[in-house]
Structure 1
Protein backbone atom coordinates (compact mmCIF):
# COMPACT_ATOMS: atom_id res chain seq x y z
CA UNK A 1 0.00 0.00 0.00
CA UNK A 2 1.06 3.61 -0.58
CA UNK A 3 0.20 6.44 1.81
CA UNK A 4 -0.25 9.97 0.46
CA UNK A 5 1.79 12.38 2.59
CA UNK A 6 1.30 15.32 0.21
CA UNK A 7 -1.14 15.17 -2.72
CA UNK A 8 0.53 17.56 -5.17
CA UNK A 9 -1.26 20.19 -7.22
CA UNK A 10 -3.63 17.80 -9.03
CA UNK A 11 -2.78 14.12 -8.86
CA UNK A 12 -5.42 11.70 -10.13
CA UNK A 13 -5.81 8.02 -10.92
CA UNK A 14 -5.91 7.59 -14.70
CA UNK A 15 -5.86 4.67 -17.10
CA UNK A 16 -6.43 4.31 -20.86
CA UNK A 17 -9.92 5.84 -20.61
CA UNK A 18 -13.42 4.61 -21.32
CA UNK A 19 -15.32 3.67 -24.45
CA UNK A 20 -18.69 5.17 -23.60
CA UNK A 21 -18.89 8.25 -25.82
CA UNK A 22 -22.15 6.95 -27.31
CA UNK A 23 -23.61 7.41 -23.82
CA UNK A 24 -22.40 11.01 -23.61
CA UNK A 25 -19.47 10.10 -21.33
CA UNK A 26 -16.05 11.67 -22.08
CA UNK A 27 -13.20 9.35 -22.97
CA UNK A 28 -11.05 10.56 -20.08
CA UNK A 29 -7.87 8.68 -19.27
CA UNK A 30 -4.27 9.87 -19.22
CA UNK A 31 -3.74 13.22 -20.93
CA UNK A 32 -0.41 11.86 -22.22
CA UNK A 33 -1.30 8.27 -23.17
CA UNK A 34 2.21 7.58 -24.48
CA UNK A 35 3.64 8.26 -21.00
CA UNK A 36 1.04 5.90 -19.50
CA UNK A 37 1.85 3.09 -21.90
CA UNK A 38 5.60 3.40 -21.44
CA UNK A 39 5.44 3.65 -17.66
CA UNK A 40 3.26 0.55 -17.50
CA UNK A 41 5.55 -1.35 -19.86
CA UNK A 42 8.53 -0.53 -17.64
CA UNK A 43 6.91 -2.24 -14.63
CA UNK A 44 5.40 -5.17 -16.53
CA UNK A 45 1.78 -3.97 -16.47
CA UNK A 46 -0.79 -4.08 -19.25
CA UNK A 47 -0.68 -0.85 -21.32
CA UNK A 48 -3.89 0.61 -19.90
CA UNK A 49 -3.37 -0.20 -16.21
CA UNK A 50 -4.38 2.54 -13.76
CA UNK A 51 -1.55 4.81 -12.61
CA UNK A 52 -1.09 8.25 -11.09
CA UNK A 53 -1.14 11.32 -13.33
CA UNK A 54 0.76 14.17 -11.65
CA UNK A 55 0.24 17.77 -12.80
CA UNK A 56 2.94 20.47 -12.47
CA UNK A 57 3.67 19.74 -8.78
CA UNK A 58 3.84 16.10 -7.77
CA UNK A 59 2.92 14.25 -4.56
CA UNK A 60 4.91 12.78 -1.69
CA UNK A 61 4.21 9.08 -1.27
CA UNK A 62 5.22 6.74 1.56
CA UNK A 63 5.44 3.07 0.57
CA UNK A 64 4.19 0.53 3.11
CA UNK A 65 5.18 -2.41 0.89
CA UNK A 66 7.96 -3.15 -1.55
CA UNK A 67 7.03 -1.95 -5.04
CA UNK A 68 8.30 -1.66 -8.58
CA UNK A 69 7.58 1.80 -9.99
CA UNK A 70 8.38 3.94 -13.03
CA UNK A 71 8.02 7.63 -13.95
CA UNK A 72 7.40 8.75 -17.55
CA UNK A 73 6.42 12.10 -19.01
CA UNK A 74 7.50 15.60 -18.02
CA UNK A 75 10.86 15.59 -16.16
CA UNK A 76 9.61 16.14 -12.61
CA UNK A 77 12.21 16.54 -9.90
CA UNK A 78 12.08 13.21 -8.04
CA UNK A 79 13.82 11.93 -4.93
CA UNK A 80 13.59 8.62 -3.08
CA UNK A 81 14.56 9.16 0.55
CA UNK A 82 16.50 12.23 -0.54
CA UNK A 83 18.38 10.51 -3.38
CA UNK A 84 17.76 11.29 -7.08
CA UNK A 85 15.13 9.09 -8.69
CA UNK A 86 15.45 8.70 -12.44
CA UNK A 87 12.72 8.96 -15.06
CA UNK A 88 12.20 6.57 -17.94
CA UNK A 89 13.33 3.47 -16.04
CA UNK A 90 11.90 0.95 -13.57
CA UNK A 91 13.05 1.23 -9.94
CA UNK A 92 12.57 -0.90 -6.87
CA UNK A 93 11.14 0.91 -3.84
CA UNK A 94 11.47 -0.72 -0.44
CA UNK A 95 8.83 -0.73 2.28
CA UNK A 96 9.31 2.34 4.47
CA UNK A 97 10.77 4.54 1.73
CA UNK A 98 9.28 7.87 0.64
CA UNK A 99 9.13 9.14 -2.93
CA UNK A 100 8.99 12.92 -3.31
CA UNK A 101 7.99 14.52 -6.63
CA UNK A 102 8.62 18.24 -7.03
CA UNK A 103 7.87 20.33 -10.09
CA UNK A 104 9.01 20.28 -13.72
CA UNK A 105 10.84 22.86 -15.87
CA UNK A 106 8.94 21.90 -19.02
CA UNK A 107 5.83 20.00 -19.89
CA UNK A 108 2.97 19.64 -17.44
CA UNK A 109 2.27 16.01 -16.52
CA UNK A 110 4.07 12.84 -15.59
CA UNK A 111 2.82 9.30 -14.97
CA UNK A 112 3.79 7.20 -11.96
CA UNK A 113 3.07 3.53 -12.65
CA UNK A 114 3.21 0.84 -9.97
CA UNK A 115 3.61 -2.87 -10.63
CA UNK A 116 0.11 -4.38 -10.50
CA UNK A 117 -1.68 -1.14 -11.37
CA UNK A 118 -3.75 0.88 -8.90
CA UNK A 119 -7.13 -0.08 -7.56
CA UNK A 120 -9.93 2.46 -7.72
CA UNK A 121 -13.60 3.05 -8.39
CA UNK A 122 -14.54 1.77 -11.84
CA UNK A 123 -17.16 3.59 -13.90
CA UNK A 124 -18.17 2.69 -17.46
CA UNK A 125 -15.37 0.15 -17.63
CA UNK A 126 -12.53 2.42 -16.51
CA UNK A 127 -10.86 3.63 -13.30
CA UNK A 128 -10.01 6.98 -14.92
CA UNK A 129 -10.90 9.95 -12.70
CA UNK A 130 -13.45 12.34 -14.20
CA UNK A 131 -13.14 15.43 -11.99
CA UNK A 132 -16.14 17.24 -13.43
CA UNK A 133 -18.57 14.34 -13.20
CA UNK A 134 -17.10 13.04 -9.94
CA UNK A 135 -16.59 9.38 -10.72
CA UNK A 136 -13.71 6.98 -11.25
CA UNK A 137 -10.46 6.63 -9.33
CA UNK A 138 -10.78 7.91 -5.76
CA UNK A 139 -14.49 8.80 -5.80
CA UNK A 140 -13.97 11.12 -8.76
CA UNK A 141 -11.51 13.46 -7.04
CA UNK A 142 -7.82 14.26 -6.91
CA UNK A 143 -5.56 12.77 -4.24
CA UNK A 144 -5.78 14.18 -0.72
CA UNK A 145 -3.41 13.93 2.23
CA UNK A 146 -3.98 10.65 4.08
CA UNK A 147 -5.30 8.69 1.09
CA UNK A 148 -4.07 5.12 0.75
CA UNK A 149 -3.40 3.71 -2.73
CA UNK A 150 -3.57 -0.03 -3.29
CA UNK A 151 -1.82 -1.79 -6.17
CA UNK A 152 -2.40 -5.46 -6.91
CA UNK A 153 0.05 -7.18 -4.56
CA UNK A 154 -0.76 -10.67 -5.83
CA UNK A 155 1.41 -10.34 -8.93
CA UNK A 156 4.87 -11.92 -8.76
CA UNK A 157 7.81 -9.65 -8.02
CA UNK A 158 10.01 -8.75 -10.99
CA UNK A 159 13.62 -7.72 -11.37
CA UNK A 160 13.63 -4.51 -13.43
CA UNK A 161 15.91 -4.09 -16.45
CA UNK A 162 18.83 -1.72 -16.10
CA UNK A 163 17.91 -0.11 -19.43
CA UNK A 164 16.44 3.38 -19.71
CA UNK A 165 13.91 4.46 -22.34
CA UNK A 166 15.19 6.36 -25.34
CA UNK A 167 14.14 10.04 -25.05
CA UNK A 168 12.83 9.80 -28.61
CA UNK A 169 10.00 7.55 -27.42
CA UNK A 170 8.60 10.16 -25.03
CA UNK A 171 6.16 12.91 -25.95
CA UNK A 172 8.08 16.00 -27.15
CA UNK A 173 8.10 18.78 -24.55
CA UNK A 174 9.04 22.43 -24.51
CA UNK A 175 7.76 25.98 -24.97
CA UNK A 176 7.63 25.70 -28.79
CA UNK A 177 5.33 23.04 -30.23
CA UNK A 178 4.26 22.18 -33.78
CA UNK A 179 0.97 20.31 -34.03
CA UNK A 180 -0.22 18.50 -37.14
CA UNK A 181 -3.86 19.29 -37.87
CA UNK A 182 -6.48 18.25 -40.40
CA UNK A 183 -9.20 20.60 -41.68
CA UNK A 184 -12.86 19.78 -41.12
CA UNK A 185 -15.84 20.78 -43.31
CA UNK A 186 -16.17 23.87 -41.09
CA UNK A 187 -12.75 25.22 -42.09
CA UNK A 188 -12.98 28.42 -44.12
CA UNK A 189 -10.08 30.07 -45.98
CA UNK A 190 -10.18 32.99 -43.53
CA UNK A 191 -9.96 30.72 -40.48
CA UNK A 192 -7.15 28.67 -42.01
CA UNK A 193 -5.16 31.80 -42.79
CA UNK A 194 -5.46 32.90 -39.18
CA UNK A 195 -4.88 29.60 -37.43
CA UNK A 196 -2.39 27.75 -39.62
CA UNK A 197 1.20 28.94 -39.68
CA UNK A 198 0.72 31.81 -37.23
CA UNK A 199 2.14 31.66 -33.69
CA UNK A 200 -0.48 30.81 -31.07
CA UNK A 201 0.01 31.02 -27.32
CA UNK A 202 -1.46 28.87 -24.54
CA UNK A 203 -3.41 30.91 -22.00
CA UNK A 204 -3.63 30.22 -18.23
CA UNK A 205 -7.07 28.67 -18.87
CA UNK A 206 -5.99 25.07 -19.25
CA UNK A 207 -7.21 21.87 -17.60
CA UNK A 208 -8.07 18.29 -18.51
CA UNK A 209 -11.11 19.45 -20.49
CA UNK A 210 -9.29 21.84 -22.81
CA UNK A 211 -6.56 24.38 -23.45
CA UNK A 212 -7.63 27.90 -24.44
CA UNK A 213 -5.38 29.98 -26.69
CA UNK A 214 -4.77 33.71 -26.26
CA UNK A 215 -5.02 34.43 -29.99
CA UNK A 216 -8.36 35.81 -31.19
CA UNK A 217 -9.83 34.98 -34.59
CA UNK A 218 -12.84 36.40 -36.38
CA UNK A 219 -15.69 33.92 -36.25
CA UNK A 220 -19.38 33.98 -37.07
CA UNK A 221 -21.38 31.38 -35.19
CA UNK A 222 -24.66 30.50 -36.85
CA UNK A 223 -27.32 30.79 -34.09
CA UNK A 224 -29.15 27.90 -35.71
CA UNK A 225 -26.10 25.61 -35.68
CA UNK A 226 -26.91 22.25 -34.11
CA UNK A 227 -24.72 20.55 -31.53
CA UNK A 228 -22.27 18.15 -33.18
CA UNK A 229 -19.99 15.41 -31.79
CA UNK A 230 -16.68 16.48 -30.28
CA UNK A 231 -13.47 14.47 -30.26
CA UNK A 232 -10.26 15.01 -28.27
CA UNK A 233 -8.00 17.23 -30.35
CA UNK A 234 -10.82 19.24 -31.93
CA UNK A 235 -9.99 22.95 -32.22
CA UNK A 236 -13.19 24.78 -31.26
CA UNK A 237 -13.73 28.49 -31.87
CA UNK A 238 -16.33 29.99 -29.48
CA UNK A 239 -17.98 33.39 -30.05
CA UNK A 240 -15.17 35.28 -28.25
CA UNK A 241 -12.77 34.07 -30.96
CA UNK A 242 -10.27 32.41 -28.59
CA UNK A 243 -9.74 28.82 -29.81
CA UNK A 244 -9.98 25.86 -27.43
CA UNK A 245 -8.07 22.60 -27.93
CA UNK A 246 -10.16 19.77 -26.48
CA UNK A 247 -8.53 17.28 -24.11
CA UNK A 248 -9.73 13.87 -22.85
CA UNK A 249 -12.29 15.18 -20.32
CA UNK A 250 -14.10 17.43 -22.83
CA UNK A 251 -17.80 16.83 -23.43
CA UNK A 252 -18.89 14.59 -26.26
CA UNK A 253 -21.00 17.24 -28.06
CA UNK A 254 -20.70 20.97 -28.62
CA UNK A 255 -22.22 23.87 -30.49
CA UNK A 256 -19.04 25.77 -31.38
CA UNK A 257 -17.48 25.48 -34.85
CA UNK A 258 -14.43 23.20 -34.98
CA UNK A 259 -12.50 24.00 -38.18
CA UNK A 260 -9.46 21.85 -37.28
CA UNK A 261 -8.66 18.63 -35.44
CA UNK A 262 -5.23 17.68 -34.14
CA UNK A 263 -3.86 14.48 -35.69
CA UNK A 264 -4.03 11.53 -33.32
CA UNK A 265 -0.25 11.16 -33.32
CA UNK A 266 0.05 14.59 -31.67
CA UNK A 267 -2.74 14.25 -29.10
CA UNK A 268 -0.27 13.36 -26.30
CA UNK A 269 1.38 16.76 -26.81
CA UNK A 270 -1.85 18.50 -25.80
CA UNK A 271 -1.60 16.94 -22.35
CA UNK A 272 1.87 18.46 -21.89
CA UNK A 273 1.03 22.04 -22.90
CA UNK A 274 1.46 24.64 -20.18
CA UNK A 275 0.48 28.33 -20.02
CA UNK A 276 2.82 30.46 -22.09
CA UNK A 277 3.81 27.70 -24.53
CA UNK A 278 3.75 28.73 -28.19
CA UNK A 279 2.10 26.62 -30.88
CA UNK A 280 2.16 26.38 -34.64
CA UNK A 281 -0.45 24.39 -36.57
CA UNK A 282 0.70 22.60 -39.73
CA UNK A 283 -1.86 21.18 -42.16
CA UNK A 284 -1.49 17.50 -43.09
CA UNK A 285 -3.72 15.12 -44.97
CA UNK A 286 -5.15 11.84 -43.70
CA UNK A 287 -2.42 9.74 -45.33
CA UNK A 288 0.34 11.79 -43.72
CA UNK A 289 -1.35 11.65 -40.30
CA UNK A 290 -1.79 7.88 -40.54
CA UNK A 291 1.83 7.34 -41.62
CA UNK A 292 3.11 9.37 -38.65
CA UNK A 293 0.86 7.43 -36.26
CA UNK A 294 2.01 4.08 -37.66
CA UNK A 295 5.65 5.07 -37.22
CA UNK A 296 5.09 6.08 -33.59
CA UNK A 297 3.11 2.94 -32.82
CA UNK A 298 5.85 0.78 -34.32
CA UNK A 299 8.45 2.41 -32.07
CA UNK A 300 6.28 2.00 -28.96
CA UNK A 301 5.53 -1.63 -29.84
CA UNK A 302 9.24 -2.36 -30.27
CA UNK A 303 10.05 -0.90 -26.85
CA UNK A 304 7.17 -2.71 -25.14
CA UNK A 305 8.17 -6.01 -26.78
CA UNK A 306 11.76 -5.65 -25.57
CA UNK A 307 10.58 -5.02 -22.00
CA UNK A 308 8.13 -7.92 -22.18
CA UNK A 309 10.97 -10.21 -23.34
CA UNK A 310 13.05 -9.15 -20.34
CA UNK A 311 10.29 -9.92 -17.87
CA UNK A 312 9.33 -13.22 -19.53
CA UNK A 313 12.83 -14.53 -20.07
CA UNK A 314 13.66 -17.91 -18.44
Structure 2
Protein backbone atom coordinates (compact mmCIF):
# COMPACT_ATOMS: atom_id res chain seq x y z
CA UNK A 1 0.00 0.00 0.00
CA UNK A 2 2.84 2.35 0.92
CA UNK A 3 4.63 1.54 -2.32
CA UNK A 4 1.42 2.21 -4.30
CA UNK A 5 0.98 5.58 -2.65
CA UNK A 6 4.63 6.40 -3.22
CA UNK A 7 4.35 5.40 -6.86
CA UNK A 8 1.19 7.36 -7.47
CA UNK A 9 2.39 10.50 -5.74
CA UNK A 10 5.79 10.58 -7.36
CA UNK A 11 6.17 13.85 -9.31
CA UNK A 12 6.21 13.54 -13.09
CA UNK A 13 9.51 14.11 -14.82
CA UNK A 14 9.98 17.49 -16.54
CA UNK A 15 8.99 17.50 -20.22
CA UNK A 16 11.76 17.13 -22.71
CA UNK A 17 12.68 19.88 -25.10
CA UNK A 18 11.01 18.07 -27.98
CA UNK A 19 7.73 17.75 -26.11
CA UNK A 20 7.68 21.24 -24.64
CA UNK A 21 5.14 23.54 -26.24
CA UNK A 22 6.30 26.46 -28.36
CA UNK A 23 6.80 29.63 -26.46
CA UNK A 24 4.15 32.31 -26.98
CA UNK A 25 5.41 35.50 -28.62
CA UNK A 26 6.16 38.23 -26.13
CA UNK A 27 3.29 40.58 -25.55
CA UNK A 28 3.69 44.02 -27.01
CA UNK A 29 4.39 46.67 -24.39
CA UNK A 30 1.56 48.92 -23.46
CA UNK A 31 1.01 51.88 -25.73
CA UNK A 32 2.55 50.14 -28.76
CA UNK A 33 -0.37 47.98 -29.92
CA UNK A 34 -0.49 47.20 -33.62
CA UNK A 35 -3.14 49.31 -35.35
CA UNK A 36 -5.45 47.25 -37.57
CA UNK A 37 -7.85 49.98 -38.68
CA UNK A 38 -7.53 52.16 -41.78
CA UNK A 39 -5.94 55.04 -39.82
CA UNK A 40 -6.96 58.55 -39.00
CA UNK A 41 -9.09 60.59 -41.35
CA UNK A 42 -7.60 63.53 -43.22
CA UNK A 43 -9.71 66.64 -43.83
CA UNK A 44 -10.76 66.78 -47.50
CA UNK A 45 -8.81 63.57 -48.08
CA UNK A 46 -11.32 62.38 -50.69
CA UNK A 47 -10.20 65.21 -52.96
CA UNK A 48 -6.70 63.76 -53.26
CA UNK A 49 -7.73 61.21 -55.90
CA UNK A 50 -9.54 63.67 -58.21
CA UNK A 51 -6.73 66.22 -57.86
CA UNK A 52 -4.18 63.55 -58.79
CA UNK A 53 -6.20 62.58 -61.89
CA UNK A 54 -6.38 66.23 -62.99
CA UNK A 55 -2.63 66.64 -62.43
CA UNK A 56 -1.85 63.60 -64.58
CA UNK A 57 -4.24 64.84 -67.26
CA UNK A 58 -2.56 68.26 -67.23
CA UNK A 59 0.92 66.75 -67.39
CA UNK A 60 0.01 64.45 -70.30
CA UNK A 61 -1.50 67.37 -72.20
CA UNK A 62 1.44 69.71 -71.52
CA UNK A 63 4.05 67.15 -72.59
CA UNK A 64 2.24 66.27 -75.81
CA UNK A 65 1.42 62.67 -74.90
CA UNK A 66 -2.28 63.49 -75.16
CA UNK A 67 -3.63 64.22 -78.63
CA UNK A 68 -5.96 67.25 -78.35
CA UNK A 69 -8.07 65.84 -81.19
CA UNK A 70 -8.93 62.89 -78.94
CA UNK A 71 -9.08 64.63 -75.56
CA UNK A 72 -8.76 68.36 -75.04
CA UNK A 73 -6.35 69.60 -72.40
CA UNK A 74 -7.40 71.20 -69.10
CA UNK A 75 -6.55 74.68 -70.33
CA UNK A 76 -8.83 74.35 -73.36
CA UNK A 77 -11.62 72.93 -71.20
CA UNK A 78 -11.35 75.82 -68.73
CA UNK A 79 -11.47 78.32 -71.57
CA UNK A 80 -14.52 76.61 -73.08
CA UNK A 81 -16.24 76.52 -69.68
CA UNK A 82 -15.60 80.24 -69.26
CA UNK A 83 -17.15 80.95 -72.67
CA UNK A 84 -20.19 78.80 -71.85
CA UNK A 85 -20.65 80.61 -68.55
CA UNK A 86 -20.29 84.02 -70.20
CA UNK A 87 -22.97 83.18 -72.74
CA UNK A 88 -25.27 81.75 -70.05
CA UNK A 89 -25.58 78.47 -71.91
CA UNK A 90 -23.99 76.37 -69.18
CA UNK A 91 -26.07 77.83 -66.34
CA UNK A 92 -29.35 77.34 -68.21
CA UNK A 93 -28.62 73.70 -68.99
CA UNK A 94 -27.31 73.00 -65.48
CA UNK A 95 -30.46 74.39 -63.84
CA UNK A 96 -32.70 72.24 -66.03
CA UNK A 97 -30.62 69.14 -65.29
CA UNK A 98 -30.68 69.83 -61.54
CA UNK A 99 -34.46 70.23 -61.65
CA UNK A 100 -34.90 66.88 -63.42
CA UNK A 101 -32.51 65.06 -61.09
CA UNK A 102 -34.04 66.67 -58.00
CA UNK A 103 -37.61 65.77 -58.93
CA UNK A 104 -36.65 62.20 -59.83
CA UNK A 105 -34.71 61.83 -56.58
CA UNK A 106 -37.59 63.18 -54.49
CA UNK A 107 -40.26 60.95 -56.01
CA UNK A 108 -37.96 57.94 -56.06
CA UNK A 109 -36.91 58.28 -52.41
CA UNK A 110 -40.51 58.80 -51.28
CA UNK A 111 -41.84 55.82 -53.21
CA UNK A 112 -38.95 53.54 -52.23
CA UNK A 113 -39.24 54.28 -48.51
CA UNK A 114 -43.04 53.90 -48.45
CA UNK A 115 -42.85 50.57 -50.28
CA UNK A 116 -40.07 49.33 -47.98
CA UNK A 117 -42.07 50.24 -44.85
CA UNK A 118 -45.19 48.56 -46.22
CA UNK A 119 -43.29 45.38 -47.11
CA UNK A 120 -41.04 45.34 -44.05
CA UNK A 121 -43.68 45.82 -41.36
CA UNK A 122 -46.45 43.64 -42.77
CA UNK A 123 -46.49 40.09 -44.08
CA UNK A 124 -49.31 41.01 -46.42
CA UNK A 125 -47.28 43.91 -47.80
CA UNK A 126 -44.23 41.67 -48.15
CA UNK A 127 -46.16 39.04 -50.10
CA UNK A 128 -47.76 41.61 -52.39
CA UNK A 129 -44.83 44.00 -52.97
CA UNK A 130 -41.49 42.28 -52.53
CA UNK A 131 -41.85 39.86 -55.45
CA UNK A 132 -42.72 42.47 -58.12
CA UNK A 133 -40.03 44.83 -56.84
CA UNK A 134 -37.38 42.12 -56.89
CA UNK A 135 -38.39 41.40 -60.49
CA UNK A 136 -38.14 45.12 -61.26
CA UNK A 137 -34.63 45.16 -59.79
CA UNK A 138 -33.59 42.62 -62.43
CA UNK A 139 -35.01 44.86 -65.19
CA UNK A 140 -32.93 48.01 -65.73
CA UNK A 141 -34.95 51.20 -65.80
CA UNK A 142 -33.32 52.09 -69.11
CA UNK A 143 -34.73 48.89 -70.63
CA UNK A 144 -38.19 50.30 -69.96
CA UNK A 145 -37.52 53.43 -72.01
CA UNK A 146 -39.43 52.29 -75.14
CA UNK A 147 -42.50 51.46 -73.06
CA UNK A 148 -42.29 54.69 -71.03
CA UNK A 149 -41.94 56.75 -74.20
CA UNK A 150 -45.00 54.98 -75.58
CA UNK A 151 -46.99 55.75 -72.41
CA UNK A 152 -45.66 59.19 -71.44
CA UNK A 153 -44.16 60.62 -74.61
CA UNK A 154 -40.75 62.28 -74.75
CA UNK A 155 -41.43 65.19 -72.43
CA UNK A 156 -40.34 65.98 -68.89
CA UNK A 157 -42.74 63.47 -67.33
CA UNK A 158 -40.97 60.56 -69.00
CA UNK A 159 -37.52 61.82 -68.01
CA UNK A 160 -38.43 62.31 -64.36
CA UNK A 161 -40.15 58.90 -64.26
CA UNK A 162 -37.06 57.10 -65.56
CA UNK A 163 -34.90 58.75 -62.90
CA UNK A 164 -37.44 58.06 -60.14
CA UNK A 165 -37.67 54.35 -61.04
CA UNK A 166 -33.92 53.88 -60.69
CA UNK A 167 -33.87 55.72 -57.37
CA UNK A 168 -36.92 53.93 -55.94
CA UNK A 169 -35.50 50.45 -56.49
CA UNK A 170 -32.25 51.29 -54.69
CA UNK A 171 -34.14 52.89 -51.82
CA UNK A 172 -36.51 49.95 -51.49
CA UNK A 173 -33.87 47.21 -51.56
CA UNK A 174 -31.61 48.76 -48.93
CA UNK A 175 -34.31 50.12 -46.63
CA UNK A 176 -36.26 46.86 -46.77
CA UNK A 177 -33.11 44.83 -46.01
CA UNK A 178 -32.35 47.09 -43.04
CA UNK A 179 -35.91 46.82 -41.73
CA UNK A 180 -36.07 43.04 -41.95
CA UNK A 181 -32.59 42.82 -40.41
CA UNK A 182 -33.67 44.40 -37.10
CA UNK A 183 -32.98 41.97 -34.26
CA UNK A 184 -36.20 40.25 -33.17
CA UNK A 185 -35.21 40.74 -29.55
CA UNK A 186 -35.93 44.44 -29.90
CA UNK A 187 -39.39 43.61 -31.18
CA UNK A 188 -39.98 41.30 -28.22
CA UNK A 189 -38.74 44.00 -25.85
CA UNK A 190 -41.13 46.53 -27.41
CA UNK A 191 -43.98 44.06 -27.00
CA UNK A 192 -42.96 43.43 -23.39
CA UNK A 193 -43.00 47.17 -22.70
CA UNK A 194 -46.44 47.37 -24.32
CA UNK A 195 -45.38 50.05 -26.82
CA UNK A 196 -47.96 51.35 -29.24
CA UNK A 197 -47.51 50.97 -32.99
CA UNK A 198 -46.38 54.58 -33.33
CA UNK A 199 -43.90 54.24 -30.44
CA UNK A 200 -42.56 51.00 -31.91
CA UNK A 201 -41.93 52.67 -35.27
CA UNK A 202 -40.34 55.74 -33.68
CA UNK A 203 -38.10 53.97 -31.16
CA UNK A 204 -37.25 50.70 -32.93
CA UNK A 205 -38.03 50.79 -36.63
CA UNK A 206 -36.64 54.21 -37.53
CA UNK A 207 -33.27 53.86 -35.72
CA UNK A 208 -32.86 50.31 -36.99
CA UNK A 209 -33.57 51.21 -40.62
CA UNK A 210 -31.50 54.39 -40.84
CA UNK A 211 -28.19 52.71 -41.85
CA UNK A 212 -29.86 50.94 -44.78
CA UNK A 213 -31.78 54.09 -45.65
CA UNK A 214 -28.59 56.11 -46.04
CA UNK A 215 -26.93 53.37 -48.11
CA UNK A 216 -29.97 53.40 -50.39
CA UNK A 217 -29.93 57.19 -50.52
CA UNK A 218 -26.31 57.28 -51.64
CA UNK A 219 -27.01 54.69 -54.34
CA UNK A 220 -30.18 56.57 -55.25
CA UNK A 221 -28.30 59.82 -55.73
CA UNK A 222 -25.89 58.03 -58.05
CA UNK A 223 -28.79 56.41 -59.91
CA UNK A 224 -30.43 59.81 -60.41
CA UNK A 225 -27.34 61.15 -62.19
CA UNK A 226 -26.95 57.99 -64.29
CA UNK A 227 -30.57 58.15 -65.38
CA UNK A 228 -30.26 61.86 -66.09
CA UNK A 229 -27.32 61.32 -68.44
CA UNK A 230 -29.34 58.88 -70.54
CA UNK A 231 -32.69 60.67 -70.69
CA UNK A 232 -31.09 63.98 -71.62
CA UNK A 233 -29.69 62.44 -74.77
CA UNK A 234 -33.05 61.09 -75.98
CA UNK A 235 -35.02 63.72 -77.89
CA UNK A 236 -34.09 66.41 -75.35
CA UNK A 237 -33.89 70.09 -76.16
CA UNK A 238 -32.09 71.25 -73.01
CA UNK A 239 -29.88 70.02 -70.21
CA UNK A 240 -26.24 69.05 -69.84
CA UNK A 241 -26.75 65.80 -71.75
CA UNK A 242 -28.34 67.65 -74.66
CA UNK A 243 -25.40 70.07 -74.72
CA UNK A 244 -22.99 67.12 -74.85
CA UNK A 245 -24.98 65.39 -77.59
CA UNK A 246 -24.89 68.52 -79.73
CA UNK A 247 -21.13 68.85 -79.16
CA UNK A 248 -20.62 65.25 -80.28
CA UNK A 249 -22.08 66.03 -83.70
CA UNK A 250 -19.50 68.81 -84.15
CA UNK A 251 -16.58 66.87 -82.59
CA UNK A 252 -16.26 69.41 -79.77
CA UNK A 253 -14.53 67.26 -77.17
CA UNK A 254 -13.92 70.28 -74.91
CA UNK A 255 -17.67 70.90 -74.54
CA UNK A 256 -18.24 67.20 -73.88
CA UNK A 257 -15.62 67.24 -71.12
CA UNK A 258 -17.22 70.34 -69.58
CA UNK A 259 -20.47 68.40 -69.36
CA UNK A 260 -18.74 65.36 -67.88
CA UNK A 261 -16.98 67.53 -65.30
CA UNK A 262 -20.31 69.13 -64.38
CA UNK A 263 -21.87 65.68 -63.90
CA UNK A 264 -18.87 64.58 -61.85
CA UNK A 265 -18.91 67.66 -59.61
CA UNK A 266 -22.62 67.36 -58.88
CA UNK A 267 -22.35 63.62 -58.25
CA UNK A 268 -19.35 64.01 -55.92
CA UNK A 269 -20.91 66.95 -54.06
CA UNK A 270 -24.29 65.24 -53.60
CA UNK A 271 -22.65 62.05 -52.32
CA UNK A 272 -20.49 64.08 -49.92
CA UNK A 273 -23.59 65.90 -48.65
CA UNK A 274 -25.38 62.61 -47.97
CA UNK A 275 -22.31 61.26 -46.17
CA UNK A 276 -22.13 64.37 -44.00
CA UNK A 277 -25.79 64.04 -43.02
CA UNK A 278 -25.29 60.33 -42.36
CA UNK A 279 -22.35 60.99 -40.02
CA UNK A 280 -24.42 63.58 -38.17
CA UNK A 281 -27.54 61.45 -37.82
CA UNK A 282 -25.66 58.22 -37.03
CA UNK A 283 -23.03 59.81 -34.80
CA UNK A 284 -23.74 57.15 -32.16
CA UNK A 285 -22.12 54.49 -34.34
CA UNK A 286 -18.40 53.73 -34.22
CA UNK A 287 -17.31 52.38 -37.59
CA UNK A 288 -14.12 52.10 -39.68
CA UNK A 289 -15.33 55.01 -41.80
CA UNK A 290 -14.71 57.34 -38.86
TM-score by length of structure 2 reads: 0.23
Larger Rg: 2
TM-score by length of structure 1 reads: 0.22
